[in-house]
Amino acid sequence: MKTNKTMVKKITLAGFLSLCLNVFLYITLSDAASAPQATYLNGITDGMHSPARIAVGPNGDIYVTDPRKAKIHVYRPTGELMRSQAVGGAPLSVAVDNAGNVYVGDATAKTIKVYDTNWLYLRVIGAGNGESDDISISSSTGKLFATDGKNNVIRIYNSDGTLYKTVGGMGSATGKFNFPTGVTVNDAAGDVIVVDQMNNRIQIFDLDGNYKSAITPPASTRSGSYSNGALASGQGLAVDGQRRIYAVDAFLGTVHVYDGNGAWLKSIGSFGTGPGRLNVPLDVVIDGYNRLLITSSNTSAVEIYGIDAYTVPTTDPSAQNQTPSSYALSGVQWESGTIDLASADLFVGVIITDTEILDIDVASVRLNAAVPVEAFTIKGDLLTLRFNKDKVRATLTVSADGDATVAITGNMRAGGFSYAGTVKVIR
């Protein structure tokens, strides 16, 4: 038993499981609900090596940790890779608050690093004791909940990063833990739900860290069958608007769904390597489009299912398949172009190598230091930026010959960039 416990801890912290686990858990809250209708949609694979934890930002962007690459991959809701942000260490867990600040649990430093929306480092949370297994933030209180499997506790931090309370400690009694793993917050119910893996249960606390209830699991044979909803190796959790709980099973390669009373409703996904299949899934989240996003570590993918009445996000149609009217040549100056003030918008193409283009912080980009990007697309080495024509007009000084100087500036991971040149203005 001691050997198995050690293996479980190493597996979860690394995020890449060899799966010698014999733990079970069963999840419940309070309300009965019908089984969700699950429709496989697509997978995201661009840039990933071994995805571990996942979160969704307030604008719908998808954040995925990749410990072996020491990066956080950020995707648009449509699945387009925006950037792969190097953060160092072994980024295992991730959460995003209401303001868009990003919290990254580092399994090497055993702390939580905090970055702003432009990936500027703000502060570190924790004393290096192990607050990195999984993290979740309450949208109503701003408190951060971090599981620490090594020390068998949950640490609760205030929104300013100060420690509010430590919950748990080694044991099987009420409120104690034996290797807590996944955590999620259900603000609507005022619940903090925690997988207590080696105690074969789920424990539920209120937003202040006070114990509320616990759920014991049914038996599992670990034979590859999950007809009774028992988990062989519970990991990440998510809760939907009907208080149905989605629990990742890393060993069986599926996501079990339970109603609020703990009754098993169905399982989504199955073990394998094809589309929609899961091989060592570690985390799950439900986004604003009512889609279930599941990290599948050993297939280097995030698999996406639509739940009930879901929506498929689309790229801004005004930025799709547009031919830029102006081009900037990488690192040099404006190569050629025009600005047609009679057109609806201005589309500018920035030609950059594939590696560098992922490092651009599009939110920081400005035309003539004032006009932000309205929308963008990335195709190969071409970044197409859409700017509002009226805003662009206000920044232009046009000569008698119809020429104007235009500059585009912005931030990249390794510094800033700037393209400037003269373009022909068409009125």
Q: What is the DSSP string of 6-31?
A: HHHHHHHHHT--------------S-
What pLDDT shows up at residue 343? 61
Instruction: Quickly count: other Cβ atoms within 10 Å of residue 210's Cβ.
Output: 11
**Model-wide pTM > 0.75:** no
Query: Which of the residue ranges 14-18, 49-53, 245-249, 261-265 would you say has the lowest mean pLDDT?
Result: 14-18
308: pLDDT strictly greater than 80: yes
> Bridge partners of 421?
406
- Domains and their CATH numbers in the chain: 2-307 (2.120.10.30), 317-426 (2.60.40)
Q: What is the mean pLDDT of the chain?
A: 80
Higher pLDDT, 170 or 314: 170
Higher pLDDT, 19 or 160: 160
What is the band of 271 on the pLDDT scale with cuts at 50, 70, 90?
very high
What is the band of 380 on the pLDDT scale with cuts at 50, 70, 90?
low
What pLDDT shows up at residue 325? 46
3-state secondary structure of 299: helix
What is the band of 134 on the pLDDT scale with cuts at 50, 70, 90?
very high
Cα 27 vs. chain centroid, distance in angstroms? Answer: 23
Which DSSP letter does residue 36 get?
P
Token pair 């700017």: residue:
387
Q: What angle do CA 150, 155, 157 make, to 5 degrees?
A: 145
CB of 294 closer than 8 Å to CB of 301: no
CB of 358 closer than 8 Å to CB of 84: yes
In the numeric block, which tokens belong to residue 37? 């209708």
- In the sheet with 111-115, reading across from the earlier edge strand, the strands are 91-96, 102-106, 111-115, 121-125
Region 342-371 average pLDDT: 66
> Which residue type occupies 366?
R
Q: Give percent of the chain above pLDDT 90.
A: 47
Query: Which of the residue ranges 29-33, 214-218, 311-315 would you say has the lowest mean pLDDT?
Result: 29-33
375: pLDDT strictly greater than 90: no
d(CA 84, CA 43): 17
385: pLDDT strictly greater than 50: yes
d(CA 247, CA 10): 20
313: pLDDT strictly greater than 90: no
What pLDDT shows up at residue 170? 97
What pLDDT shows up at residue 197? 81
What pLDDT shows up at residue 373? 79
